[in-house]
Chain A
């Protein structure tokens, strides 16, 4: 009975792993065949041999549908946008959490509530007014317009606030006695102690920034500013041509790689940081 139970448990878990893995596998299959293979029935099940050829085509020559931009350029745009969003959010959240935890100022409770309320206002809700503001600043088709409206993060602020509250208040007293003012305390003591949460948040926010689709779509018209996520959509949504599945899947796989690299390299801190 026990053996049967364990077998079923494993089967159950394998099923869910498969749910996660099978789509990626199918993408690999599609990316490693030539264009015609995906049009025939049955769709190939095993990996083909054209993986590198497809990668090369997509990275160097570009595709007509995306205006002939090599996908490498799209990847670069996405990378810059994701990095800017992640670092900007972290810096802003650190500063607001610092103010909320270590200072007493008039209307502090009101500010706290205000920050909390912004959680109800993701970019999708405030698209139109934000677009008008960005357009008024002439930031359309620029990285400023792409990233600045996404910089404020209530979740990150509260996350850092919790992390700061765990730090014993006697450290503040000791720092005061040592002659460290608020800024010195922030740089010398608070930041080094927040390394783990910062890394954990960086991963989450980087992936968030990387996956941004709606906002870049609205803000950019210049093909130079297209991000890779938008690029996939352009490839797949062509009206009067057959979709080039092998190229689409190659680009999708390429789009997966940088977030994976970031998560894998900062994984250690993610586990530590979320424990804090």
Chain B
């Protein structure tokens, strides 16, 4: 088990800056997920930590030791690849034993270790098969077995579940979590699927265009997004955004569908009539009646019946704003004309120019955020 420290890490290919001055600290035994859209630099980040690529500037520390110049095999870490990267001509046993053989361990030791790990991952009956004769999930377990057998200080996962179907992905997610609880090794997990990141990680790092948007626990990142990007990226259902204009005299924000929101501390920092972006999650918009104060009239356009939930796509009568709201699956939507009430306490406010959030609600980690 070791800590992983990235200090001012930059990576560029020619003039293309892929990672820009990244700073990240992973504690011992922590499971950190790095999540972001395609092309944000997360795979590059993993390759830098593993040693398969060298940094353009900055340092990577594993266990407080700078490993910039240390080759991948000597960095005391193991990697699980997206496409498993199993040696196709070797049996499962040989695949798992190869790294140990290269290190010079005795045959007896190799035997014991491989058999132990095979038992842990329920691979005993597949030990003498070749990868071609295995299913995707089994191959992924062999790939993990190959990593575990080396007893590394850090595990690196490069989108390991992307090639699996939905059900298998859920199973393997739980397997990985169980393994993490059992082995307590530091894990750095890269994925583009925010569900994986949110369900598995102790902390989530959201990466966009080579820069860290936010680092925080899944709860923090969900409830107190630091930027508009994080707010729109995280969350199974898309977050709703609409604009509001600041009214300094009345200490309020006038939303584009007419209602006013009474607000507070950050308004003093804004110029009058400045526009802010307001975000609210679909589950924080509540159906109500038209005579509730602060309600918004809207028309239902589509209903996505997802079984347990229904996702309503509605358009407000004032301002023509498209909103998504989530209601229980068994709720009957009687008519097209509905009234909504927004849960003001759960709203997030972002600057229209920079996309950075204004800290209105007190979050426990507000002081220690990366940005």
Contacts and interface: CB of A to CB of B under 8 A. Distances in A.
Interface of A: 168, 170-171, 173-174, 176-180, 184, 188-189, 192-193
Interface string B68-94: 000111100011011101111100000
Contact of B81 (A174, A184, A188, A192): A174
A72 B52 CA distance: 56
A180 B87 CA distance: 13
Contact of A173 (B79, B87, B102, B146): B79
Nearest to A184: B102
B83 A178 contact: no
B103 interface: yes
Contact of B85 (A174, A179, A188): A174
B99 interface: yes
A177 B74 CA distance: 8
Interface of B: 50-52, 71-74, 78-79, 81-83, 85-89, 98-99, 102-103, 146
Among B82, B83, B98, the one with the most A-chain Cβ atoms within 10 Å of its Cβ is B98
A177 B51 CA distance: 9
A177 B79 CA distance: 8
A104 to B, nearest CB: 13
18 contacts: A168-B85, A170-B82, A171-B85, A173-B52, A173-B85, A174-B86, A174-B146, A176-B52, A176-B72, A177-B72, A177-B79, A177-B99, A178-B98, A179-B73, A188-B98, A192-B89, A193-B88, A193-B89
Contacts of B89: 189, 192-193
Given A192-B89, A193-B88, A179 B102 contact: yes
A189 B71 CA distance: 20
B87 A177 contact: no
Nearest to A194: B89
A81 to B, nearest CB: 32
Contacts of B51: 176
Contacts of B73: 176-180
A171 B50 CA distance: 15
A178 B81 contact: no
B78 A177 contact: yes
A171 B98 CA distance: 12
A193 B71 CA distance: 25
Contact of B87 (A171, A176, A179, A184): A171
Contacts of A193: 88-89
A80 to B, nearest CB: 31
A173 B81 CA distance: 9
Given A170-B83, A180-B102, A193-B88, 13 more contacts: A170-B81, A170-B85, A174-B81, A174-B87, A176-B71, A177-B52, A178-B73, A178-B99, A178-B102, A180-B98, A184-B102, A188-B98, A192-B89
Contacts of B86: 174
Contacts of A192: 89
B103 A179 contact: yes
